[in-house]
Structure 1
Amino acid sequence: MRRFALIVAFWPGVLMAEGFQRLTGDEILEALSGRKLNYEGGASQTFEPSMHTQYFSGGPSAGIWAVQEDQYCSLWPPSDLWACYDIERNGDVIRFIGKGGDTTDGVYAE
């Protein structure tokens, strides 16, 4: 009976370890800096350590990115408005979650 109780005690932790996990600011920097993500439909995005970002979908679009209060934020000129997202990770998949709960998944490029 004692073994069963031990297994049950660890079961919730096992379940939580699978699936998407919310990233902190430092984890976002580590997950994105110097990396490239591929998105559905053939688009991709690079995240330079200099905090510049390039989005490619039929042509390049240049912006800047930052981490603010444990969120990924980006600015795409000519707009002067920052858009911020919660970030979750599941293996090689990075999920951006907008204020309204909308999600976009990117997969690390090889």
Structure 2
Amino acid sequence: MTQDDDERLDRAFLALADPVRRQIVARLSRGPAGVNELAEPHAISLQAVSKHIHVLEQAGLVTRTRDAQRRPVHLAPEALERLTAWIDHYRLVHERRFRSLDALLAQDPAQQEDP
């Protein structure tokens, strides 16, 4: 993993550390939305929601397009795939360790050699 990859990963996890931003990402998983729509479930200003969207954009997790007067926000699925690939790598490492431990514990103690 390059330093750029590490920095991108850091920005994404930092962006997702905030519950409002996680809820925005969850909402965008159902499809694009405007700022007003993303702000509806939150008791915060449109300006605050725009700042959250900006953080998600900087992290590469969302993009904006122009549709006449609207500027819908879209989820960037490839960025989420990078995050899940990173998490899966470590999940698989630990699963292998647990399987080895399970195999060791499943051995009959009578069949184990004394050191």
TM-score range (shorter-chain normalised) is under 0.3
The structure with the largest alpha-carbon Rg is 2
TM-score by length of 1: 0.23
Flag the structure with higher strand content: 1
TM-score by length of 2: 0.23
Flag the structure with higher helix content: 2
